[in-house]
Amino acid sequence: GQNIDQPTEMTATEGAIVQINCTYQTSGFNGLFWYQQHAGEAPTFLSYNVLDGLEEKGRFSSFLSRSKGYSYLLLKELQMKDSASYLCAVNLSGGYNKLIFGAGTRLAVHP
Amino acid sequence: GAVVSQHPSWVICKSGTSVKIECRSLDFQATTMFWYRQFPKQSLMLMATSNEGSKATYEQGVEKDKFLINHASLTLSTLTVTSAHPEDSSFYICSARDGSVGTEAFFGQGTRLTVV
């Protein structure tokens, strides 16, 4: 089966840095995505990693280690609007390139 | 980025009736679309993969006779919840990709279904 694990909830302070971890065990791997989702809305794309290493995009960075089945999303200079759920998703190889999601991490940013 | 439009945004229906949800890719052709279901405070659970011109591929545990999927064209997929029951109340969301591996999935706005 497919297994993608993330912490359920995290809290952080405005202006701080937070790291959201994701571990996965899947039958096939063709990249890992991070999405942000506000309550009642569709997920929006944040990052994509297919090779090991760090991808930086403004205040957001994402890291991948394929050998460890591990990724993290790093959010810097946190803002109140960053309060949302962050979804880790694995692109399965073969077939239709299905995207399988972890349970998501609800991040609450406090003043 | 590419746009995926989902309609309706919300719907309330009576038990036993059927509800159709549409998912359209507005500015790209999507050979494959995906249908997800999301319960409150939970993640997206993949229900099925919708394939243009052929039968949908359902995930284990998803009743294909209850959740009918039709991918009529390269820009339209529909999900019909048949004989809806209160336990079918959920947030249904579709996604599509403009390309192959590595391209981000664009999501529709989602449909909040409430069965009373």
Q: What is the pLDDT along chain A (111 residues), one digit of tens a residue?
A: 789 999 999 999 999 999 999 999 998 898 999 999 998 888 999 999 999 999 999 999 999 999 999 999 999 999 999 999 999 999 987 767 788 999 999 999 999
pLDDT of residue B1: 65
Per the document, the length of chain B is 116
Whether the upstream peptide bond of residue A43 has omega within 30° of 0, thus cis, is no
Contacts with B34 from chain A: Cβ below 8 Å: 96, 98-99
Query: Looking at the partner chain, which of B41, B44, B106 has a beta carbon nearest the beta carbon of A101?
Result: B44
CA nearest to A55, candidates A37, A70, A69, A72: A72
CA nearest to B25, candidates B45, B4, B11: B4
3-state helix, strand, coil in chain B (%, to 5): 5, 55, 45
Contacts with B69 from chain A: Cβ below 8 Å: none
User: pLDDT tens, A4-18?
Assistant: 999 999 999 999 999
CB contact under 8 A, A98 and B49: yes
CA nearest to A34, candidates A25, A44, A24: A44
Interface of A with B in 40-69 (CB under 8 A): 40-45, 48, 50
User: pLDDT tens, B1-20?
Assistant: 678 999 999 999 999 999 99
- CB-CB neighbours of A6 under 10 Å: 24
Instruction: List chain B residues with pLDDT less than 70.
Output: 1, 99-102
**HEC secondary structure over B8-43:** CCEEEECCCCCEEEEEEECCCCCCEEEEEEECCCCC
Q: Are B109 and B24 a contacting pair, CB within 8 Å? A: no
CB contact under 8 A, B105 and A104: no
Q: Helices (H) and strands (E) in chain A — how many of each?
A: 0, 11
pLDDT of residue B51: 81
Query: Looking at the partner chain, which of A48, A96, A104 has a beta carbon nearest the beta carbon of B43?
Result: A104
Q: How many CB pairs under 8 A join A and B?
A: 62
Contacts with B104 from chain A: Cβ below 8 Å: 33, 45, 48
CA nearest to A29, candidates A90, A102, A111: A90
CB contact under 8 A, A41 and B42: no
CA nearest to A6, candidates A87, A97, A82, A61: A87
- Give the position of tokens 């994701």: A22
pLDDT of residue A102: 93
Torsion of CA A34, A36, A39, A43, to 10 degrees: -70
A54 by DSSP, 3-state: which?
strand
pLDDT of residue A49: 95
CA nearest to A75, candidates A30, A84, A38: A84
Beta bridge partners of B58: B48
Residue A57 tokens read as 């995009």
Q: Give A21→chain B minimum CA distance, Å.
A: 16
pLDDT of residue B27: 86
Query: Looking at the partner chain, which of A93, A96, A102 has a beta carbon nearest the beta carbon of B32?
Result: A96
CA distance A90 to A106: 18
Contacts with B101 from chain A: Cβ below 8 Å: 30-31, 91, 93, 97
pLDDT of residue B67: 97
